[in-house]
């Protein structure tokens, strides 16, 4: 379905949990994370119904995220349900990768098409630092397992933070050069734990790309599926590709095709827009398919024309990314 600005809204990002098995410094506080009670979180059957109805208004692509989606019990069952909805042709996952290797075959068999693994550093000590105790090896295994099982494309999400991992950009590129992975460099946003965020830690994608071009010849290109907001480049002679996601320096709102469903059952038109539509309430009060369809249409019509993340205090006043779904 088209929104008021002519954008075709066909993509639903679903947060299946607000919990996580890591505590990345830029995303969650170490302690005192405010979590929803079990009963406040949508049941898998409820998520399934919302997606089925979303498919009637044009949803064709679904991404499961969180928090960490792989800690949600029976996730493969949900993947199976969603992938068998006839109109949905793409089911993807964003994960920190910690639990992925052990679950990958089951998820693939259930119908998962694609996976994005988040990884900000190739140094085990730095990984432990930024995630507050994660094991890098588990994520590297996740990547290998995803490639082995034929997920395509396999993408890496890498947030570049000045003073933390900007010295590793070339090494990360080398990974995408030698392996068929698609690495996406993401600008650091004020959407999580703000103790760690500051504007001087942002490195623009333009700066990152100019540095990479001193070492690799890049040509603009496309990855087969799910380009989303990233601008992609092929690396001459390399197996994978490089993408840039620049929400801070160059917003891509005019191309935005997504809605979000939060773990506690709210539809959001934009990560950065605090207005939410309570679909859980309608579900639990026995709402009809038609009523839920109308909520989707309202959410689509409510999508803002652009985000306001650069405003002072934006990140302090809004729900965090792990609460909304990253």
**Cβ 22 to ligand SF4 shortest distance, Å:** 4
Q: Strand (E) positions, the chain?
A: 11-15, 61-65, 90-95, 114-118, 154-160, 181-187, 218-221, 231-235, 241-245, 258-261, 266-268, 276-278
Contact between 66 and ligand SF4 by CB under 6 A: the answer reads yes
3-class secondary-structure state, position 15: strand
And the tokens for 39? 């009963």
Torsion angle, alpha carbons of 297, 298, 299, 301, to 10 = 90
Binding site for ligand SAM (CB under 6 A): 20, 26-27, 65-66, 68, 94-96, 118, 157, 159, 186, 188-189, 191-192, 321-322, 326
120 part of the interface to ligand SF4, by CB under 6 A:
no
For position 18 contacting ligand SF4 by CB under 6 A, the verdict is: no
188 binds, among ligand SF4, ligand SAM, none (CB under 5 to 8 A by kind): ligand SAM
The binder of 23, among ligand SF4, ligand SAM, none, by C-beta within 5 to 8 A per type, is ligand SF4
Q: Which is nearer to ligand SF4, 65 or 246 (CB)?
A: 65
Residue 28 binding partner per list ligand SAM, ligand SF4, none, with a CB distance cut-off of 5 to 8 Å that depends on partner kind: ligand SF4
Q: Which does 65 bind (CB under 5 to 8 A by kind): ligand SAM, ligand SF4, none?
A: ligand SAM
Contact 123, 166 (CB under 8 A): no
**CB contact set of 241 (below 8 Å; sequence gap of 6+):** 176, 182, 183, 221, 223, 232, 233, 234, 235
CB of 289 to ligand SF4, least distance (A): 32
The residue among 16 and 173 lying less far from ligand SAM, judged by its C-beta, is 16
Residue among 23 and 319 whose Cβ is closer to ligand SF4: 23
318 binds, among ligand SF4, ligand SAM, none (CB under 5 to 8 A by kind): none
Closest CA to 46 of 316, 270, 264, 274: 264
* Residue 8: CB atoms within 10 Å: 13
Specify whether the CB–CB gap between 249 and 236 falls below 8 A. Answer: no
Strand (E) or helix (H) holding 246: none
8 A C-beta contact, residue 245 and residue 229: yes
Nearer to ligand SF4, 176 or 191 (CB): 191
The SS3 of residue 244 is strand
- The one among 10, 17, 96, 145 contacting ligand SF4 by CB under 6 A: 96
CA distance 90 to 258: 14
Identity of the residue, 1 or 33, whose beta carbon is nearer to ligand SF4 in the bound complex = 33
Euclidean distance between CA atoms 269 and 144, whole angstroms: 34
Smallest distance from ligand SAM to CB 64, Å: 9
Q: Min. distance of Cβ 250 from ligand SAM in angstroms?
A: 15
Minimum gap (Å) between residue 213 Cβ and ligand SF4 = 28
The one among 186, 257, 322, 323 contacting ligand SF4 by CB under 6 A: 322
Q: Which residues contact 4 (CB under 8 A, 6 or more apart)?
A: 301, 303
Give the nearest distance from C-beta 261 to ligand SF4 in angstroms. Answer: 16
Binding residues (CB under 6 A) for ligand SF4: these are: 20, 22-24, 27-28, 66-68, 96, 118, 322, 326
């Amino acid at each position: 379905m088209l929104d008021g600005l002519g954008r075709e809204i066909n993509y639903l990002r679903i947060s299946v949990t607000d919990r996580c098995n890591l505590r990345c410094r830029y995303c969650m506080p170490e302690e005192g994370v405010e979590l929803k009670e079990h009963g406040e979180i949508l049941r898998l059957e409820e998520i399934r119904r919302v997606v089925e109805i979303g498919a009637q208004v044009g949803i064709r692509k679904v991404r499961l995220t969180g928090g960490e989606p792989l800690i949600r019990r029976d996730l493969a069952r949900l993947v199976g349900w969603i992938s068998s909805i006839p109109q949905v042709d793409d089911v993807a996952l964003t994960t920190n990768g910690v639990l992925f290797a052990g679950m990958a075959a089951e998820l693939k068999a259930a119908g998962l098409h694609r996976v994005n693994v988040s990884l900000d550093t190739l140094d085990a000590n730095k990984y432990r630092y930024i995630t507050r105790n994660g094991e890098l090896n588990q994520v590297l295994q996740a990547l290998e397992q995803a490639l082995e099982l034929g997920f395509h494309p396999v993408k890496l999400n890498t947030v570049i933070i000045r003073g933390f991992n900007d010295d590793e950009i070339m090494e990360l590129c080398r990974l995408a050069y030698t392996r068929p992975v698609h690495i996406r460099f993401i600008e650091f946003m004020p959407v999580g734990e703000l103790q760690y965020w500051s504007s001087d830690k942002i490195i623009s994608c333009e700066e990152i790309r100019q540095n990479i071009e001193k070492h690799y010849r890049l040509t603009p290109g496309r990855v087969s599926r799910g380009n989303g907001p990233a601008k992609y480049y092929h690396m001459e002679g390399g197996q994978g590709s490089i993408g840039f996601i620049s929400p801070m320096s160059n917003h891509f709102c005019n191309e935005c095709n997504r809605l979000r469903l939060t773990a506690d059952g709210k539809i959001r038109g934009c990560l950065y827009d605090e207005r939410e539509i309570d679909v859980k309430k309608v579900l639990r009060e026995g709402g009809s398919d038609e009523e839920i369809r109308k909520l989707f249409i309202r959410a689509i019509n409510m999508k803002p024309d652009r985000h306001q993340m650069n405003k002072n205090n934006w990140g302090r006043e809004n729900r965090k990314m792990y609460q909304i779904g990253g």
